[in-house]
Structure formats: C-alpha cells, structure tokens
Amino acid sequence: METVIGIKFNDFVLIATDMTAAHSIMVMKDDEDKTYNITNQVVMGVTGEAGDVPRFAEYITQNVKLYRMRNGYDLSIPAIATFTRKTVAEHLRSQSPYQVNFMLGGYNPIEKKSHLYFIDYLGAQVDVPYGAHGYGGMMTITVMDRYYKPDANYQEAYDLLKKCILEVQKRCIINMPKFKVKISYAGGVQELPIITKDNIEQNVIVNVKE
C-alpha cells in the first residue's frame, strides 16, 4: 500500500515517496518520511515492512559513513547501490530477510552524471532512467513513458512527478494524499515542496539552491 517513484535526468535525480503509514486497514500517520539521505549526494526512497524499512536504511547509511571515516572519501554511487543490493541478497538467504523495495539515486558532480537504481526485496538491481515500486508504480510507469525527457529542467521534472502522483491519486483505491520529494543535484540533496491532493493542480514554483 505504498509508492516510491524515482526519475533520473541529465543533471539531477528526483525521488518521491508517499507519506502514509498504515497498518492493516488503518492509517496510523500521514507525515511519515520514507526517504533517507545516504550521503550528501545520494538519496534513497524505501517501501516495505514497517520495522524493516528504518532498520535497513539506518544500516546502509551508517555503514557508508563508516567507510568514509575509515578511508577519507565516500563510496561511489554505483558502489553504494551494489553494497545495498548485496546486503538484501545476503539477508534473503538468512532467517531474517529484509522485506524492502527501494529506488536509490544521486548526482555525481565530479563525473557530472546522474545515477538511479531500481532494487527490490529479492536483490534484483537495475540501472534505470525512471522507475517505481508499490501499487502506485502500476499507474506511473506509463505516464513517465509518455512524458519523460532526460534534459528536462527542475520545473519540468517536478511537473512530471505531479502528473504521476495525480494518476496515483485518481486511479488507486488506496488513499495517498501526500508525497515527499527530494532532489539530488550538484549542490547536494534538497527537499522540494510536498505534493498534496490540495496543491497538486496548482502551479507550484520549484526553487533549487544553486
């Protein structure tokens, strides 16, 4: 009953997740943050079991920080994705597998290149231009197929994300009223305006700090 969307552009990456925390048929809260800043340039949107998501995300984040402390530099974005996939795959073969699906992305200002990875609970990893997990993913892929442009600017990218979320809110029987949005670009990771059912059809101006 969750949705995470990732879209890669030439100069940045967008990650959006719904903010609903539900248990069975009950909504427990509507301000849950399912995005995690792995480094200053890498952000991950995670869906899955309520206990597994923060435990897994914290494990990845702290291990990447430990690597930086020991070596004096961060892992590359592909290396972080590979480490994350390896962690999922190893636990899949244990008695405590992680039930998590996630989009992991970031922008490398040195290489001037964007990265986005689709990784699921079975340890499958694919480098993609865009992707989504959850029920909402079924409605968003076709929208991105139609409107995706790799050279889009910040405003066009945000508007594409709004098109995807509007389709989720229109088609999906499950209520997902709010989505948190983060961007990874040359200046780091920044949070963009939350997309809600009240402002989704309004003209929201995106201000990204250069």
| Domains of the chain, first to last | 2-194 (3.60.20.10)
The pTM is what? 0.92
Q: Residue 12: how many CA atoms within 13 Å on its side-chain side?
A: 24
Concatenating the DSSP letter of every residue in 7-25 gives EE-SS-EEEEEE--EEETT
Query: Rounded mean pLDDT of 52-73?
Result: 94
Q: Which residue has the higher pLDDT, 81 or 204?
A: 81
Q: pLDDT, tens digit, for every residue of 3-60?
A: 999 999 999 999 999 988 888 788 888 888 999 999 999 999 999 888 899 999 999 9
Model pLDDT for residues 154-175, shown as the tens digit of each residue: 999 999 999 999 999 888 887 7
How many other CB atoms are there within 10 angstroms of residue 100's CB atom?
A: 24
Say whether pLDDT at 210 is over 80: no
